[in-house]
Structure 1
Amino acid sequence: MITDIRSFFNLNNEMVLFLYGLVFFILGLSISLQSRRHSRLALARSLGWLAVFGVMHGLHAWGQLFVPLQATYMNHVGVSLLQIFQVLLQGLSFAALFQFGADLLRDRWPFLIWLSATVTGGWLLWLMGLGLFTDIGVGLWQQQASIWAGYLLALPGALLTAYGLRYQAEKQIKPLDLTHIYSTLRLAGFAFVAFAILAGLFGAYGDYFPPNWINQTVLTRSVGVPEPMFRSLTGLVILLTITRAMEVFDLEIDQMIEEMEIAQRVTAERDRIGRELHDGAIQMAYTAGLIMESARRKVADEDVVAQRLDRAMTALNESIAGLRAYMSDLRTEPTAVSLAEGLQRETSNPRFTTLMDVSLQWNLPETAVFTPIQATHILAIVSEALANAARHAQASHVTVLAEENNDVFYLSVTDNGTGFAYADDESGFGLRNMRDRARLLGGRLAIDSTAGQGTHILLTMPRETI
């Protein structure tokens, strides 16, 4: 039975090597194509190294097919150079895996970053010395380089990666209650342990211990299946688990958008309460105070009624002061007179810049002065427009422009998002709130949007109101 299996794989060795390279190349490519720039997870910061490992290791595997074919066409020097390049691809791919594992554990053991670089440098220097100061042939040099790349780079690198994935799963994924992502990362860790054994221990044959006892040939003779086939299966598990685990970045962005929506709703509600207090309760309290003052002037100072009116007026004034303090606490937008500073803070707010590129064009003099109330309303309009661009339009770039022309102040927010079919009578609360603020500024808000063509919001305000 084992003989038949061995014969089958011997006849299809090229297919095994092709699949081996394909699995790891797709792993690297899929990671490279996944956008992670908005993520706050340490895993996102480190995955670039795993992508490098996948691409380089896939190319190394395909080299085992390509180099023997070229040997029939190229001279000895050309083939030797290809063999050297193939060894470097193998070793550097393992070095990238080592670096990936070290990066996952950076906050726990920072020295691992330097350890991986030191071991990689030592392996390269040893290769140079072996090639320059000994008379071994390229074939033997390639064999020794492969053996020690497995021992020094693949074995510790894959084991560190396995532990690093488990560590990140426990630290950052489990608290988010993402059970399927947590289980997937743990399974990926087990796959890397298997890869560590296969790539680190079962490498090329050597005439010394341990590669003379534990090597690819011994494994193939024992089970009939070549070692690259086992690596291919392990790589397939790694590919599937890592690809599934990368869903966490989409979930993370959804969570960030949800948090931003909640913050926007809270801000809008605070603004509504503040305006109602100002226009309703405080105005009524002022009116009551005026009536009491009028009544107080008609009563003699020694009258008991006068004393009670004085106490009532004192209590009313304290209530008005309390309401004003409450309104001040509700105000969340900056109240700085310098609108330039406020816009700079708003357009560089990580709430927006982690989801899209935001640029600010300020074409007003730095000395342009706005009252605190004006700055508050303008910044609230910008904040709502940016939130809509990120939350609904899925824009990748937004431009905020502030300028003045013919004594009119213009503020525009333009995005390249999906747009929408806009109608004044069908707009949501956020857009109504923006128009209300524009009216409070004595200005006008125009919204120009078409489905699929982005959105342009323009606030115009006469300069004399500034």
Structure 2
Amino acid sequence: MSVLRSFFELEANRIVLNFAHGLIYFLMGFGVLIKSKRWSELTLAKALPWLGAFGILNALGDWGLVFLPIQTAVFSEQMMSILWVLDAALLALSYACLLMFAAKLLGETKPEWVWLPRVVPALYGVWLAALVIGLVRTGLQWELDLRLTRHFEVLYRIGFAFTGSVAGAWALSLQREELERLELQASIPPLMWVGFSLLLHGIAAGLIVPEGSFFSSYFLTDRMVFEWTGLPVRLLTGASGAVVAFFILDSLDVFDDEFQRRIDAANRLQAVMDERLRIARDLHDGIIQTLYAVGLNLEGLILSLKQGAPGAEDEIRSIMRSVDGAIQDMRRYIVRLKAPNEEASLDEQLRLLVRDLQREARIPVRIKADPVEAGLISAEAIMDILLIVREAVSNAVRHARASEVRIALVRDERGINLSIVDDGIGFDPEQRPKGAAGEHLGLDNMYRRAASVGGHLSIHSEPGHGTEILLRVPLNP
């Protein structure tokens, strides 16, 4: 104990401590201002700039304690008195920013307390005005100014530092509900540690008053703590500040998580819009055109019946086939919109899909599939894989005039390999027109779906030799 006391009684060591104290708070404030995101919709983001301002202003005030004593040989006592008062006002302003952080966070969290941020500037204004009036009355006398400054230091320590720390810790604890609702639980423990550290800081910086003030007979003083423990109070506030800095910067990863969630939501929305556009295009090119042709055929049939022309029965059968094709297309689109069963594995859902496709296509669709346990492929990836298979089989039947389709699913240690082979007329993938066949066959959509699940799709075909589609999709990590 005596060794510690002797160490910190040295003026040089106290200067180093004050400088390190300021450096800790400067790094904390600078880090908060850099990592806080104004675009964020989190309640915490709206109050963080005030916490950053607290750290930087507090650091500047601490460094004033380091450099002002050096100036005593340069400036007069009156000028030094003014500089010390300005430093005290700067430290008070820093703690007013801490109180503003708490008030802003509480006001954003609790709508009934939205008025709280307007109170803090008024409190600081009253404190500063009272200090100026007191200085004017003392006539800027060195000894009297120092004593008066100590009295007002106690006021801002209790009113701003202690109140701001306690209110800030409480306000941080109220953010748990929002973070849990947004599934950002990873940031909750660091924020709780920040709140706990703020409480310790509030006790050390707010309730332990400087020696020689009017309030020193009513409160625990920094000299008493030093005599009992051998540790200066600034070491305690510096340690609590370091803990706050570490955990607040750790918790601010929540903004990266929120940004990633926004990207994921935007990607999901884009996927929905792409699918809607795809269905709208297919409806226009397929069902609507079929129904339009049915309407024209019916008009021609009415005219034929009026004229008693032969062949009306064949025309009716042709129209019925067209209507049946439109019904099958509509059923296919409805099935496409259904979400897959998340509890079923990929191979099970593929078999169910093949059963439906065989009924719709009216040609043999054969499947051989290795078991792929549920969870190895995400539900979103399974949906895209099923849509790729459906598109491939549909193209084989509608455009390649295939008489058989074979599907094979093979699983290895890193992923699944899916092949879809037909015996149709084939085509040249390098020469397909991008504006026509590329859209009509839906190949572009198949490539996009494969890329969206981190997979790779390749198509091998040539005229007269059928088509083979290969899809490689990695397993979930």
CA contact (8 A) 2:225 2:233 kept: yes
Per-residue CA distance 1:217-268 (angstroms, 9 max, x = gap): 1111111100000011000001001111111111111111111111111111
| Structure 1 counterpart of 2:135, from 131, 140, 148 | 131
The root-mean-square deviation of aligned C-alpha atoms, in Å, is 3.2
CA distance in 2, matches of 1:275, 1:9: 79
- Counterpart secondary structure, 2:208: coil
- Counterpart secondary structure, 2:95: helix
Aligned letter for 2:231? Answer: V
Q: Which residue of 2 aligns with 1:342?
A: none
| TM-score after normalising by structure 1 | 0.63
CA distance in 1, matches of 2:115, 2:202: 21
1:151 equivalent to 2:158? Answer yes
| TM-score after normalising by structure 2 | 0.62
CA distance in 2, matches of 1:194, 1:97: 14
CA contact (8 A) 2:208 2:219 kept: no
Q: Which residue of 1 aligns with 2:177?
A: 171
More divergent stretch after superposition (271-280 vs 207-216): 207-216
CA shift, 1:294, in A, is: 2.0
* 1:288/1:264 CA distance change after superposition, 3 Å: same
1:6 equivalent to 2:10? Answer no
| Structure 2 counterpart of 1:290, from 293, 296, 302 | 296
1:231 equivalent to 2:237? Answer yes
* 1:210/1:180 CA distance change after superposition, 3 Å: farther
Write the mapping of 1:111-122 to structure 2, written as runs, cut at 5 A: 111-122=115-126
Aligned letter for 2:46? Answer: R
CA contact (8 A) 1:205 1:212 kept: no
CA distance in 2, matches of 1:194, 1:140: 27
CA contact (8 A) 2:103 2:117 kept: yes
CA distance in 2, matches of 1:236, 1:211: 30
* 1:280/1:228 CA distance change after superposition, 3 Å: same
CA shift, 1:299, in A, is: 3.0
CA distance in 2, matches of 1:162, 1:212: 25
CA distance in 2, matches of 1:14, 1:116: 32
Aligned letter for 1:225? Answer: L
CA shift, 1:99, in A, is: 0.4
CA contact (8 A) 2:151 2:213 kept: no
CA shift, 1:190, in A, is: 0.5
Q: Which runs of 5+ in 2 are unaligned?
A: 338-428, 440-477
Aligned letter for 1:151? Answer: I
Percent identity among equivalent residues? 29
* 1:64/1:188 CA distance change after superposition, 3 Å: same
Q: Which residue of 1 aligns with 2:48?
A: 47
CA contact (8 A) 1:50 1:96 kept: yes
CA contact (8 A) 2:168 2:198 kept: yes
| Structure 2 counterpart of 1:161, from 168, 190, 201 | 168
CA distance in 2, matches of 1:165, 1:33: 20
CA shift, 1:208, in A, is: 4.2
Aligned letter for 1:140? Answer: R
Per-residue CA distance 1:377-402 (angstroms, 9 max, x = gap): xxxxxxxxxxxxxxxxxxxxxxxxxx
Aligned length: 321
CA distance in 1, matches of 2:173, 2:149: 34
Q: Which residue of 2 aligns with 1:80?
A: 81
CA distance in 2, matches of 1:76, 1:206: 20
Per-residue CA distance 1:150-204 (angstroms, 9 max, x = gap): 0111111111111111112x23212223233101001100011111111111121
Q: Which residue of 2 aligns with 1:242?
A: 248
CA distance in 2, matches of 1:175, 1:215: 44
CA contact (8 A) 1:52 1:96 kept: yes
CA contact (8 A) 1:16 1:229 kept: yes
CA distance in 2, matches of 1:189, 1:213: 24
Q: Which residue of 1 aligns with 2:93?
A: 92
CA shift, 1:212, in A, is: 4.7
CA shift, 1:62, in A, is: 1.2
| Structure 2 counterpart of 1:218, from 212, 216, 224 | 224
More divergent stretch after superposition (69-78 vs 291-300): 291-300
CA distance in 2, matches of 1:164, 1:112: 12
CA distance in 1, matches of 2:66, 2:103: 31
CA contact (8 A) 2:154 2:215 kept: no
CA shift, 1:35, in A, is: 5.1
CA contact (8 A) 2:198 2:244 kept: yes
Write the mapping of 1:389-400 to structure 2, written as runs, cut at 5 A: none
CA contact (8 A) 1:185 1:241 kept: yes
CA contact (8 A) 1:147 1:211 kept: no
CA shift, 1:88, in A, is: 0.8
Q: Which residue of 2 aligns with 1:361?
A: none
CA shift, 1:206, in A, is: 4.2
CA distance in 2, matches of 1:172, 1:126: 40
CA distance in 1, matches of 2:255, 2:213: 48
CA distance in 1, matches of 2:268, 2:213: 67
Q: Which runs of 5+ in 1 are unaligned?
A: 331-425, 427-431, 438-466
